[in-house]
Structure formats: structure tokens, C-alpha cells
Structure 1
Amino acid sequence: MADSSTRQPSMLQALLPIGLLVILLAFSVYLYGSDSSYGANQIALIICAAVALLVGLKNGQTWRELEKGVVDGISIALGALLILLMVGALIGSWILAGTVPTMIYYGLQILSPEYFYVATCAICAIVALSIGSSWTTAGTVGIGLIGVSQGLGLSMEITAGAIISGAYFGDKMSPLSDTTNLAPAVTGTDLFTHIRHMMWTTTPALIISFVIFAIIGFNADANEQVLVLEDTLQLLNDNFNISLWTLVPMLVVFVLAFKKVPAIATILVGALLAAVFAVIFQSDVIVTFVNEPELQTGLVYLKGVWTSLFSGFSVSTGNEVYDELLSRGGMTSMLNTMFLIITAMSFGAAMEVTGLLHKLIKTVIGVAKSTGALIGSVLATCIGMNVITADQYISIVLPGRMYKAEFKRRGLDAKNLSRTLEDSATITSPLIPWNTCGAYMAGTLGVATGAYWIYCYFNLITPFVSFIYALFNFKITPIEGDEASE
């Protein structure tokens, strides 16, 4: 809104698209239930984006300016959309290659049902801490752990919550993570000061999460799990060549991720390598999957791996749970998730280009008088940004820029702001169905965001820990030395 001829939006105008979105999403969930994310929510987001753009036109902005803002906003998500396509291909080829079945097979025998949820959270935390990516963690070991939970007769929803809790702890605390580097860069503090300061809020939240997952695990029904376990092991053995060699594609992905090879390239290599391993180790599986006896052997292998990459793998054994477990993947499985992300980013971009987002944030800053209220407003703003803009990076950068001067004016060290950004923007992003992170986790793990979010204990607890610290002024560091006198 650089043109002086345009009018600044009012608070009522800023709230109009938000209020309408809340109403439409409520009706969407009421009418369509868990299927609301398969089109109804997208329509709601598009309608509200249109309302925001109409406000911009009313205030004197040109259509060209508004259109460019929306297109630029959507372009931010292009990388995430490509990653989603690659992950879809990876899931399909990993199942066909026996990578996922082998992970499930050995996981079923190693992981005890009583400790499964705690172990899942811990495993994902360690992997994400090592490679710095919650997305890669969920798309690799997360897929296997979801399968193990079904094999043990445990809740997929709770398992997804444990995976996401662990993955986001590791992502948040890893110096290799993009968000962990972004938050201190935006606020003007250094990386390792930022990480050390985050430990005060992050560690208690993780410990509490472990305790909750342990309590849930100890109350599981062990007798039913033993029967499900035996059936699943037999089915896996009957339908796949279970071999440790099939885990090589997963190890290659971990190595590439650790070496900070770009995510799209890393996942694509993992998918294509699995396609090769499928031909080597699962030739009989491919023949059954393609089910075209008239084709030459080489063409059967080609069609099998090709199909797994674009439309996923499917199997029919008569066991509904088993079939659902391994009939997944393919690029096409991610198209609805991409649809959701594009419409959500359109709404967020419309709110930003019209100045409505800026108006909301400025109003929130103005009412925060105490330190506790200021940090609480950052938490609320970042969570709101995740809802409105559907992107965790925007939810870090925009509030970070807008609150930076206010923190300095009040004599608060920049590391307080960077920690608060991560305690809210990074952590809550997978809890919103249309956020890029929430949509990715739902698409990858095969569990709806609305079903798993209540079990993401780490993600839910961390903002509360951060707010409690702020209320009692605990570990809220003032500016020291020369910077305080500037």
C-alpha cells in the first residue's frame, strides 16, 4: 500500500475477512465433518480472500497491485508444493521397494506397546535434531512409525501427535533447521544464544509430553495388541521380501539431509533409489501390483515403479487394516493438500497486500502494556499468522520485524523475541489444517489434522510455558551493556 492515494483500512475492515472465515469454516466442518478439507475449506478460503481484495479495491488499490501481491504470496509456497509432490512419490516407491514394510516389520518386534508413544516421540526428536527437518523426519521414520502403530493395534492419531511432537522439538532445537536460523536472523541475535535461551521453555514442554505419552501407553490393551502384531508380521512376510537392504534408501535420505542437500533433491533421490531397489528386491511384488501378464518383464517393472511414483502403491489381501496401511503414496495423493495450501496462501497474501494484516498486528501491539502482555501478544500474533497466512516462515518474519523495535524500546533482549517466535510460530504451524505444515503432516502421515492436533502435546504445551514465564518475568532477559544505552 505504497500509493498515497489509497486509504488505510479500518479495524472493522481488517476483522471482516477473519470473521467471515471463522463462520464459513464452522459451517464447513458442521456440514462435511472430517471431509471438510477436501474442498469445502478451500472454497471458504477463496471467498474470504476475495472479500479482502474487495476491501483493498474500496480503499483505492488497483487490481494489478492486488493481483501481484496474491501471486507473490502464493509463490512463497512453491518450494513446499514441490516437496509435497516428491514426498508423495517417495512414499509410493518406498512401500513398493519394501522400505516401509521392513521398517514396520522390525519396529513391531523392537518397540513395546507400553513405551511406543514415548519411544516414537524420542526417536523423531533425535532424528529431527540430527537433520534439522520436521518434514523429512515425518516423511521417513514417521511413515514407518505410523505403520508400526497400526500393526500394534495402537491409535494412529496419538502416534501422529507423538511423531509431530518429537519432530518439532528436534526441528526447533537443531542448528541445522531453517526456522531455528531464521528467527534469530530476523530479530538480530546469534544462533546459539537463541538455542540456549529456547531450552528454558522447550525442555519442560518435552518432559511433560513424555510423561503424558507414557501414561497413555501404560493404559493400552496389551492382549488385543499381541493378536494384531502376529497377524501383521505374517502378512508382511507373505507379501514382501523383508530385508535390511531395503532400508538403504532411507539411510541415503538421512545422509543427504544431514549434509544439507536441498530437500527437493534429497527426497527425489530417495524416491528414485527406492524404485531401483524395488526391481532388485520386490520383483514378485511388482508383477502382482501391475497384474498385466501380457506385458514383457522389463515393461512390467517399468510400469510398476512408474505407477508407484505418480499414483502410489496398492495391495488387496482381504485384511482391511493392512490394505489401508500400505495402499498409499504417489504424487496424486498430495494434490488435495496442494489445493488447500494454494487457497490458504491466497487468503494470507490478500490480507497482507491490502494492509489488513498490518492493521491487526499494530492494534495488538498497542494494547500490550506489560512485558507479560507484550510476549503474550507475540504468541497470539504468531499463532494468528499461522491461521491467516498459512505459512510458518511468514509467521516468524512479519511479527519478528514488527515487534523488534518495541522489544528494544522496552529494554528487552532480542533473544526473548526470537524464542517467543519459535515457541509459537514454529510450534503451532502443524496444528492448523490449511497451514503448509498442517497440510503436509496430514498428507504424509495419513491422519487428518483435526484428528491428531489434540495429541501434539509438545506443540500445545510450549506456548503456555512461554506465556507463564512471561507472566512471572522468569528468564526474560533485559538488554545489557552498550546495546542498552543505544
Structure 2
Amino acid sequence: MRTKAMKTPAAWVSAIPLGVLTLLLYIVIRCFGGDAINGGSQMALLSATSVCVMLAIGIYRCRWAVLEEAIIENIRASASAIVILLLIGAIAGTWMVSGVVPTMIYYGLQVLHPSFFLAASCVICAVVSLMTGSSWTTIATIGVALMGIGQAMGFPDGWVAGAIISGAYFGDKISLLSDTTVLASSTVGVPVFTHIRYMLYTTIPSFVVALGVFTAAGLTLDHAGATSAVLYAESLAATFRITPWLLLVPLATGVLIARKLPAIVTLFSAVVFACVAMVAVQPQMVARVAGVESLDFLTGFKGVLMSCFGPTAIPTGTPQLDELVATRGMAGMLNTVWLIICAMCFGGVMTGSGMLRALTAVFLRFVRRTFSAVASTVGAGIFFNLCTADQYISIILTGRLFRELYAERGLEERLLSRSVEDSATVCSVLVPWNSCGMTQATVLGVSTFVYMPYCIFNLASPLMSLLVAAVGWKIHKLKIKN
């Protein structure tokens, strides 16, 4: 029995699932606020997915097997990110109970001046991310420590998280070790060194703008400063054993990253390092987590594992500090994992049904000159982050979509790869249901909507890309071969 060929979806029909998703997420966030990730957002994504499936099967005769395969492929592509996310949860627990993060906070409070804390945090995360090539790892380690220092100094959570994310994504974007940098350049077919050098024309000005804003904010914001910093430092020293030897854990982790080991291997090793340090330096904390007074092999093993996978609450005598050092472990990441899976289902059916392709065709209609080409690329990168909920898929789709078009218009491939990075890479963390936005909100404990206005570098990058394209700085046209 023959089946009818699948029709090409109309753009206005393809926009219906995305409109449904946007409306449902708006209602969910109004109802649940910061708790939207606990189930409401997931239901919104699945509801929008069902709308897409009904339209695809009912109107365009798309077979369910095609949609199912697209969903499976999307979830398969996100599997490593899910494992990394769980390991980040384990790092959050073990690095806290072992005293690694408290030690970093303690010494940070002694060194960082409150007036320049935001700018210093941005620079520190930029350097670490540049050396490691991973914004996720940077935020999950040094970023968590800086978040604690900023809270101890009395800075608003949004400003601190914004400075951390801005620096981490700047370093990630221009790092030779970054997977997104390599992915963007390879997708378009540009040598990675050429890609990085060309990005500097938009990336450096955006970072300078971010540093200027964070410096001004640090000098003008009303923060608790020295008083609360001293109080928190004393409470940390009274609760944990503070020693410079604990800094060997992040140092050893940095060495593994520099050796270009896979992220999963590096993060798991970081958990093991912290577990060893936990038993050696903070046995009283292990006993407290295990719920016993004295340790033996079994209770020690129990305490170590509980710090990896479960929530821990460590009383310090200071309510705000108690909240800071409390961790949720791997279990605390499960809502985010659930959200990622639901987001991958939505992105999968949008791709498999051809609706995503129909929507992207809209961007191509506006491409006439250099500025419109860059503007359409930037718009597509942001759009794909919204509807596929995945940074890597956004980079690949945007690069592939515009590659032939740039060649036809005589535009350099490096301009395309840079425009993809200026949008798909850095804006992913600004989307609450994107895997990057969900992860960083979970890791830092700050809602995406709270930190979004303060991610100055991430907001400035696409605008800088448009500005540079408008003035034509370092943009050359190639001769089109007949």
C-alpha cells in the first residue's frame, strides 16, 4: 500500500508549535516563578511537542516513525551533556563538603576588593575558560566559588552570575580547546585559527564593554563589603578546616583539562579528587553527612556517596552562609535533565516534521547585502536556540543553512562562522529552556530570568556583530566565479 508523500509545511503552520510553547512557558512562569523547572516547563515543552506531532501527522502526512527517529537522534546527541550535568552536580556536593569551595571563598574574601569584585570575577572566569575551553566547567568550579564570595559581599545574585557567565563565555568562545569554537569553524569549513582571529574584531570590543559595565557597577552598587565578608570568613573557618592543600584539587583538575582529556573523564576525576580530600581533610563533615558521630569504612563510604548524589545541609551558624554551603548533588540536577529530555523531544519533532526548515526559509528572504546576511545569521542563531533548545544543534543548523548562500553572495566563510558564534554560542545561556540556560541556572542557583539582564558580554556580542557588519570593518567580498 502506497503512502502519500509528505507535504512541505507552511511557515505559518510551522510557527504554531513555537507560539504554543512561548504562550505556555509565559503562563507557567507566571504561575510557578522560579519553580517552573520542577515540572511546569517540562509539561509546556511536551504539550508543544504534541501540537507539532498532530499538525505533522494530520495535515502533512508525516509518519510517526520519522518523528520518533528525530527525537531519538536529538536525545542521543544530548546524552553526553546529561552525563556532564550529573557529574557537575557531584562536583558541587563533593567540592563543598571536602572544603574546596569554602577554602576558595575564604581566600577570595581576603584578596578580592568589593569595589572591583565583579570585574575581577569576569576576568578570572575568562582566563580559566580560555585555558580550559569549557564555560560549563569554569562556571561549575571557580564560578560556584565566586558566586559564594559575591553573596558574602552582599552583591545581588544577578550581577554576580552575569559577571561569571560573561567571562566564562568570552574565554570559551576564543579558546582553541572549546568544542563550540571547533564545531562552528568546522561546520562552515574555516581553519580554527582563522576563525578565532576573525572573532576578535567583535569579541574583544564586547568584552571591553562588559568590563566597563561591571567596573562601574562594582563602584556604585551598595554592598555589605568588609563587615559581612569578615563574618562569613570567620564562619567558614569555624565550620571547615581551611588549608591551601585543598587547592590542589582544582589545580589537578586544571592539569587534566590542559591535557585535553574528555570532559566526562576530567569531571569524574575532579569528583574522585574531592572525595579523597574529603576523607583526608574533613572527616567530621563526612560523619555529619552520614549521620554518625564516628567514622568507619562503611559509614565513611556512605558519607562520601551521599555527598555525591544527595542533598547536604551544613550548619555554620550564619543563615545566609548555611544556604550557600547547602548542596543538592546529582539528585539536584534531575529536574534539569528532565527538562533537557523534553526540550530534545520538541526540537526533534520540529526538525523531523520539516517545520524547522520551513521557518528558517523565512530568514533567507531578507538576505540581500552583507548587513542583511549577518543580521539573518544572527537572528537564525538566536531563533534556533529558542526552538531547538540546544547550543550545538543551533550552531550546526545555522552554519549549514547559510553556507551556500554566503558563497553565492561572495561573502567570506569566516564571516559566517563568526556570526554563528556571536549568536548561537553566546546567546544559548540566555534562553531558560535551552540546555545551557537550564544548566547554568541550576549550577549557580540563579534563575535565567534573574541573571539574563546582567550577562553583558552575551547581550553585547550579537549587537557588536551587527555594528561591525553595518560599518563593514574587516569585511571583504570575494569574487564570484561564473
Report if TM-score (shorter chain) is over 0.5.
Answer: yes
Quickly name the TM-score band, shorter chain normalised. over 0.9
Distance in 1 between the 2:237 and 2:190 partners?
Answer: 53
Q: Name the counterpart of 1:160.
A: 161
Distance in 2 between the 1:144 and 1:317 partners?
Answer: 17
Distance in 2 between the 1:185 and 1:288 partners?
Answer: 50
Q: Does 1:195 align with 2:196?
A: yes
Provide Cα deviations, 1:393-426, integer angstroms capped at 9, x if missing partner: 1111111111001101000010000000000000
Q: CA deviation at 1:349?
A: 1.0
Contact 1:90-1:329 within 8 A present in 2 as well:
no
Q: CA deviation at 1:368?
A: 2.3
Distance in 1 between the 2:143 and 2:275 partners?
Answer: 20
Distance in 2 between the 1:239 and 1:120 partners?
Answer: 25
Q: CA deviation at 1:318?
A: 4.0
Contact 1:89-1:312 within 8 A present in 2 as well:
no
Q: CA deviation at 1:316?
A: 2.1
Q: Does 1:32 align with 2:18?
A: no
Q: Name the counterpart of 2:446.
A: 447
Distance in 2 between the 1:471 and 1:441 partners?
Answer: 32
Provide Cα deviations, 1:258-314, integer angstroms capped at 9, x if missing partner: 111111111111101111111100012222333324x75333321211100011432
Distance in 1 between the 2:386 and 2:139 partners?
Answer: 22
Q: Name the counterpart of 2:241.
A: 241
Q: Name the counterpart of 1:435.
A: 434
Q: Name the counterpart of 1:412.
A: 411
Amino acid at match of 1:391: D
Contact 1:97-1:282 within 8 A present in 2 as well:
yes
Q: Name the counterpart of 1:122.
A: 123
Q: Name the counterpart of 2:370.
A: 371
Q: Name the counterpart of 1:22.
A: 22
Distance in 1 between the 2:135 and 2:389 partners?
Answer: 17
Amino acid at match of 1:240: F
Indicate the percent of aligned positions where both proteins have the same amino acid: 39
Q: Specify every segment of 5 or more residues in structure 2 that has no aligned partner in the other structure, as ranges.
A: none
Q: CA deviation at 1:463?
A: 0.2
Amino acid at match of 1:202: T
Distance in 1 between the 2:106 and 2:139 partners?
Answer: 18
Q: Name the counterpart of 1:139.
A: 140
Q: Name the counterpart of 1:101.
A: 102
Which aligned segments of 4 or more residues in structure 1 are displaced greater than 3 angstroms? none
Q: Secondary structure at the match of 1:369?
A: coil
Distance in 1 between the 2:284 and 2:25 partners?
Answer: 47
Q: Name the counterpart of 1:310.
A: 309
Q: What pairs up with 1:471-486 in 2 under 5 angstroms? A: 471-479=470-478, 484-485=480-481
Distance in 1 between the 2:103 and 2:424 partners?
Answer: 35
Q: CA deviation at 1:229?
A: 0.9
Q: Name the counterpart of 2:360.
A: 361
Q: CA deviation at 1:4?
A: 7.1
Amino acid at match of 1:298: F
Distance in 1 between the 2:4 and 2:265 partners?
Answer: 45
Distance in 2 between the 1:170 and 1:152 partners?
Answer: 25
Q: CA deviation at 1:117?
A: 0.3
Q: Name the counterpart of 2:5.
A: 5
Q: Name the counterpart of 1:54.
A: 54
Q: CA deviation at 1:473?
A: 2.4
Stretch deviating more after TM superposition (85-94 or 317-326): 317-326
Distance in 1 between the 2:5 and 2:400 partners?
Answer: 26
Q: CA deviation at 1:54?
A: 1.4
Contact 1:95-1:313 within 8 A present in 2 as well:
no
Provide Cα deviations, 1:356-415, integer angstroms capped at 9, x if missing partner: 000011121123222211211110111010011111111111111110011010000100
Provide Cα deviations, 1:215-256, integer angstroms capped at 9, x if missing partner: 11001336x322211110111111100011112221111111
Q: Name the counterpart of 1:44.
A: 44
Amino acid at match of 2:305: W
Contact 1:138-1:164 within 8 A present in 2 as well:
yes
Distance in 2 between the 1:207 and 1:237 partners?
Answer: 36
Amino acid at match of 1:205: S
Distance in 2 between the 1:477 and 1:244 partners?
Answer: 52
Q: Secondary structure at the match of 1:485?
A: coil
Contact 2:235-2:317 within 8 A present in 1 as well:
no
Q: Name the counterpart of 1:169.
A: 170
Amino acid at match of 1:407: Y
Stretch deviating more after TM superposition (156-165 or 99-108): 156-165
Number of aligned pairs? 479
Q: Specify every segment of 5 or more residues in structure 1 that has no aligned partner in the other structure, as ranges.
A: none
Q: CA deviation at 1:440?
A: 1.1
Q: Name the counterpart of 2:350.
A: 351
Stretch deviating more after TM superposition (73-82 or 3-12): 3-12
Q: Name the counterpart of 1:73.
A: 74
Contact 2:287-2:295 within 8 A present in 1 as well:
no
Amino acid at match of 1:455: Y
Q: CA deviation at 1:156?
A: 2.1
Amino acid at match of 1:257: I
Contact 1:97-1:281 within 8 A present in 2 as well:
yes
Distance in 1 between the 2:132 and 2:90 partners?
Answer: 21
Q: What pairs up with 1:262-341 in 2 under 5 angstroms? A: 262-293=262-293, 297-341=296-340
Distance in 2 between the 1:396 and 1:80 partners?
Answer: 16
Contact 2:4-2:61 within 8 A present in 1 as well:
no
Q: Secondary structure at the match of 1:434?
A: coil
Q: Secondary structure at the match of 2:6?
A: coil
Distance in 1 between the 2:66 and 2:426 partners?
Answer: 33
Contact 1:9-1:355 within 8 A present in 2 as well:
yes
Q: Secondary structure at the match of 1:367?
A: coil
Distance change >3 Å, CA 188–CA 296, structure 1 → 2: closer
Distance in 1 between the 2:222 and 2:229 partners?
Answer: 13
Q: Name the counterpart of 1:256.
A: 256
Contact 2:289-2:306 within 8 A present in 1 as well:
no
Q: Name the counterpart of 1:459.
A: 458
Provide Cα deviations, 1:13-70, integer angstroms capped at 9, x if missing partner: 1111011111111111221222222211111111111111112212111112211111
Q: CA deviation at 1:173?
A: 0.4
Contact 2:236-2:316 within 8 A present in 1 as well:
no
Q: Secondary structure at the match of 2:427?
A: helix
Amino acid at match of 2:393: I
Contact 1:375-1:470 within 8 A present in 2 as well:
yes
Q: Name the counterpart of 1:403.
A: 402
